[in-house]
Every structure is written in C-alpha cells, then in structure tokens.
Amino acid sequence: MNGLVQGQMQLTGRGVTCVRGGREVFSRLDFQAASGEAVAVVGRNGSGKTSLLRLLAGLLIPAGGTIVLDGGDADMTLPEQCHYLGHRDALKPALSVVENLSFWADFLGGERCDAAASLTTVGLDHAALLPAAFLSAGQRRRLSLARLLTVRRPVWLLDEPTNALDAAGQEMFGGLMRAHLARGGMIIAATHAPLGIDARELRIGGGV
Amino acid sequence: MTALAALIRRDIRIALRVGGGALIGVLFFLTVVVLMPFAVGPDLALLSRLGPAILWLGALLASLLTLDRLFMADHEDGSLDLIAMSRTPLELACAAKALAHWLAAGLPLVVATPVLGLLLNLDMVATGAVALTLLAGTPALTFTGMIGAALAVTLHRGGLLMAVLVLPLSIPVLIFGVAASQAAIAGPLSFGAPFSILCALSLVSLVIGPFAAAASLKHGLD
C-alpha cells in the first residue's frame, strides 16, 4: 500500500503562519505543490525557508493555517510520507557507511530498494565499509541522498540539498530529482543555489 | 517491529564501539568501588556492612554518567528529527533506545557486581543479593533517567541539569535496592517486601518513562 502513489497528489498550504521563539517568521503563506512538481523555496537568510520545511515535516507546529495533503496514502500522515534532508546528516560516525544506510532503511520501513545499488548511484560504493567519521562533507551529503533512494517516499523536503556537492555530484543529484519527479514524486527544496531542475519558485519574506 | 529492532541494534553497536558509552559506565563503577576500601580502611567487617550500599551507589552514578547522551547525540546529528517523523510511535522509539542503553550500559554493571563484591568482602549470598537487586533495579534507573535525558534536549542543557533532575527520581530505587540487599544479608526484615517494591518501581518507570520522554521530546523539536 505504501510507496509511490497511485494517481495524483496535491500538497496545499493555506494561511500558514510560523512563530519561533515569540518572533513571527512568516505569516499567511499560501503555497501549492502537485505530483511531478518541484518547488524551490527562496528568500534571504532568516526568512523562514528551513522553518517552512520543518513545518511540512511535522517538526514544528504552525501557529496558524493548514497544511493538507490530498491523495497519497490515507493511512499515513504527511510527515510519514516525507523524506527530510536537513542541514544535519543524521549519520553516526562510529558506524560504517553501509551500516548507517541500512539502519535508516530498516527503521523508516516501507517500500525499499537495494542499499548497495543506491550507494553505487551516489558514488559511494568504494567507501561502503568505511566508518562515516572518515567521510568528507560532500560524501556525507551523498550518503544522505542514498537514504532518499533506498527508502521510497513520495515527498522530498530538501534543505540546501546541493551544499557541499561538487559539480559532478550536483549533476548526479539533478538526475535523481528528475527521476523522482517522473515517478510522480514531489520535491520542496529550500535553496540559494540553482537546483539544477525546473522548479516553481516560492518566495518568502524578502522585503517584498 | 523491524524498526525497533534496528534501532536497538544500532544503539548497542554504537555503545560497544570505540568511544561508545558502554565501557565508560563499567570503568567508572570499577573505579568507585576499588577506591572505597582505600578510603574506608582495612576494616573487613565495616566493608562488608557498607558493601551493598557502595555497590548500589556506584551503579547509580555509573548509569547517570552515561544517560545524558541518550537523546543528545541523536538530537545533535539530526537523527531525532527523522525518528520523530517516522511511522514508529515516538514512545516506542524512546522505549527501544532506553532498552538498548540498559543492555549496553546497565547489564554490564550487574555482571561486574560479583567481581567487585570480592573487593568489599561480601560473601556469596550477599553478592548474589546485590546482583539480583541491581538486575531488578537498574531498569528503573535507566527508564526514569530517560525522562531527564529528554528534558536535557528540550531545554538545550546537558550534563549537570540532567543529574539534578534525575537524582530525586532515583532515590526510591536506591532506598529499596539497598534495603532489599541488606535484608537478604543481615535480616531481620524479609527480602520479599523491599524487593517487590523495587520490581514495582521498575515496572512503573517502564510504563511512564517512554511516555514522559516522548512528550518532552515532541515539545523540544524545533
């Protein structure tokens, strides 16, 4: 029942307001995203791009407004159908690359692909047995991307996904995102740099 | 179930690797107990009278020592976000983490007790009694300590705060743990009554701990 959706999905936010630490980050934000669509959230530093992603991931509670996912799996909440790729990589330095990846695959559950194949795709197959402590920043990011590939989730929430990736890595990641969209997935990415795919722009704050 | 098993496996694996917390607790326990005869002096009767209390204190402090990292490490590297988002209820995930912590850090304390009992001039019966009470009581220490560990994440303060929060909760466990051991060794009270209360404390904390920790963590995510 889980895995990628049958038919269309639509993510709608209406009048979403975010308050953090008593300060209003953004207010009355409307947005929409559909299957096969990428949304690039842009805005200056501190305008609330990360906060918006964390609201969608259920890690923050909106001070006002609603976020609704139509379509998708009715038995699951929105966060349960999301992949969240944040600033922090959720990797344990003491575990090897493949241990890190297979832990998240086992823990997140649902429809999954071969972990070894994902490592090959992101170009980390040669380092599979290396402890994650020895990875460079770019390699850590690649390992996080392998998580998105190994466990199928229809919605990807990406926070500055291309950070630390080299040119080849960004190209590889662009291909992965296009494949995800072609399967009917949805991407919402907070970014300063170009994403490398066609994306609708959602501007928050920014003194407009 | 696979999700929880995976979480337990991962936490135990990390604890047993270099830099993990499992060995630190036992080493600390060992240090406290080994130093005690030097501080008390060569009075064997006094040592064996104090023995159970010393072992219990050492175990309590050793388990507090490693507990404050229970959620902090996962919070710092972002794992906690993914755990909170997952299809596994956060309460169960907390319980799994505490269980893993107990298996990696609590159980070794129980295993080390017979060896350390020798240093304190405890006989077979006394050592067995202390080990048995520790086996029944250390889960209570871990599962109440988990609440403090979760609060430490919520309040962005680690270390000392955790000890201050958790110590009062662990006092009943200490009282009944030592009481049961003493009863088994010297009498005249029966071993059953304090031991049953100790088991009850463990069972209650097994139920309350995960819910309290999960509630605290949900508020602390931001």
Section A33-62 average pLDDT: 87
Supply the ipTM of this predicted assembly: 0.86
- Split at pLDDT 50, 70, 90, the class of A196 is confident
Residue A8 has pLDDT above 70, yes or no: yes
- Which chain A positions have a beta carbon within 8 Å of B2's beta carbon? 106, 109
Specify whether the backbone of B204 is left (phi greater than 0), alpha (psi in -120 to 50) or beta: alpha
Which range has highest mean pLDDT (A70-74, A173-177, B15-19, B217-221)? A173-177
pLDDT of residue B159: 67
The answer to whether position A186 is within a domain reads yes
pLDDT of residue A167: 87
Q: Do A60 and B221 touch (CB under 8 A)?
A: yes
- Enter the pTM of the model: 0.88
The answer to whether position A170 is within a domain reads yes
pLDDT of residue B192: 84
Of A89, A95, A104, the CB nearest to B14: A95
Q: Do A107 and B76 touch (CB under 8 A)?
A: no
pLDDT of residue A2: 42
A interface mutation test: which of B75, B79, B80 has the most A CBs within 10 A?
B79
B interface mutation test: which of A59, A107, A147, A151 has the most B CBs within 10 A?
A107
- As a whole number of angstroms, the distance between CA B178 and CA A147 comes to 48
Average pLDDT, chain A: 85
> What contacts A144, CB < 8 A, 6 or more positions away?
A85, A89, A90, A91
- As a whole number of angstroms, the distance between CA B93 and CA B83 comes to 8
Question: pLDDT digit string (tens) for A69-91?
Answer: 888 777 888 888 889 998 888 88
CB B31 within 8 A of CB B109: no
| The pairing of beta strand A64-70 with beta strand A10-20 | antiparallel
The answer to whether position A89 is within a domain reads yes
User: Looking at A45-54, A134-143, B51-60, B156-165, which range is the least confident one?
Assistant: B156-165
* Closest residue in B to A2 (Cα–Cα): B87
pLDDT of residue A48: 86
Q: Do A92 and B77 touch (CB under 8 A)?
A: yes
Measure A20 CA to nearest chain B CA, in Å.
8
The answer to whether position A189 is within a domain reads yes
Q: Please give the residue that has the higher pLDDT: either B221 or A107.
A: A107
Q: Do A76 and B87 touch (CB under 8 A)?
A: yes
Q: Do A94 and B14 touch (CB under 8 A)?
A: yes
Residue A1 has pLDDT above 70, yes or no: no
- As a whole number of angstroms, the distance between CA A36 and CA B77 comes to 30
b/e per residue, A164-185, with b = 16+ CB within 10 A? ebeeebbebbeebbeebbeebb
The answer to whether position A5 is within a domain reads no
Q: Do B88 and A107 touch (CB under 8 A)?
A: yes
> What contacts A74, CB < 8 A, 6 or more positions away?
none
Residue A140 has pLDDT above 70, yes or no: yes
pLDDT of residue B160: 73
For residue A13, which phi and psi values (nearest 5 degrees)?
A: -115, 135
pLDDT of residue B47: 85
The answer to whether position A3 is within a domain reads no
Q: Do A103 and B76 touch (CB under 8 A)?
A: no
pLDDT of residue A3: 44
Section A175-184 average pLDDT: 89
Residue B81 has pLDDT above 60, yes or no: yes
Distance in Å from the first CA to the final CA of chain A: 43
Which residues, numbered 32 to 91 in chain B, qualify as contacts with chain A under a Cβ-Cβ cut-off of 8 Å? 76-79, 81-88
Question: pLDDT digit string (tens) for B174-213?
Answer: 999 998 988 888 777 788 888 999 999 999 999 999 999 9
Spatial CA neighbour of A174 closest among A198, A148, A190? A198
pLDDT of residue A4: 45
Number of other CB atoms surrounding residue B190 within 10 Å: 12
Measure B77 CA to nearest chain A CA, in Å.
5
A interface mutation test: which of B81, B94, B217 has the most A CBs within 10 A?
B81
Q: Do B17 and A94 touch (CB under 8 A)?
A: yes
Give rounded-to-5 percent helix, strand, coil for chain A: 30, 25, 40
Measure A92 CA to nearest chain B CA, in Å.
8
Q: Please give the residue that has the higher pLDDT: either B95 or A45.
A: B95
Section B54-83 average pLDDT: 88
Of A20, A92, A106, the CB nearest to B6: A106
Q: Write the CATH number for A192.
A: 3.40.50.300
Question: pLDDT digit string (tens) for B106-118?
Answer: 899 999 999 888 8
Spatial CA neighbour of A118 closest among A179, A69, A199? A179
Q: Please give the residue that has the higher pLDDT: either A176 or A205.
A: A176
Average pLDDT, chain B: 87
Spatial CA neighbour of A12 closest among A96, A82, A68? A68
Of A20, A84, A87, the CB nearest to B82: A84
Owning domain of residue A71: 10-203
B1 touches A at CB < 8 Å: no
| A85: Cα within 13 Å, side-chain hemisphere | 27
Q: What angle do CA A65, B79, B142 make, to 5 degrees?
A: 110
The answer to whether position A125 is within a domain reads yes
List, as one string, the DSSP characters of B120-134: TT--HHHHHHHHHHH
Number of other CB atoms surrounding residue B92 within 10 Å: 15
Residue A36 has pLDDT above 60, yes or no: yes
A95 touches B at CB < 8 Å: yes
The total of structural domains in chain A comes to 1
* Closest residue in B to A107 (Cα–Cα): B3
pLDDT of residue A7: 65
pLDDT of residue B58: 92
The answer to whether position A31 is within a domain reads yes
pLDDT of residue A206: 60
Q: Burial-class residue B108 by CB neighbours within 10 Å (0-12, 13-18, 19+).
A: middle
> What contacts A129, CB < 8 A, 6 or more positions away?
A96, A97, A98
* Closest residue in B to A56 (Cα–Cα): B85
pLDDT of residue A191: 86
Which residues, numbered 111 to 150 in chain A, qualify as contacts with chain B under a Cβ-Cβ cut-off of 8 Å? none
SS3 (DSSP) at B54:
helix
Query: Hey, what amino acid is at B111?
Result: V
Residue A5 has pLDDT above 70, yes or no: no
B218 touches A at CB < 8 Å: no
Residue B140 has pLDDT above 90, yes or no: yes
- Split at pLDDT 50, 70, 90, the class of B222 is low
- Which chain A positions have a beta carbon within 8 Å of B219's beta carbon? none
- Which chain A positions have a beta carbon within 8 Å of B14's beta carbon? 92, 94-95
Residue B158 has pLDDT above 70, yes or no: no
Specify whether the backbone of A170 is left (phi greater than 0), alpha (psi in -120 to 50) or beta: alpha
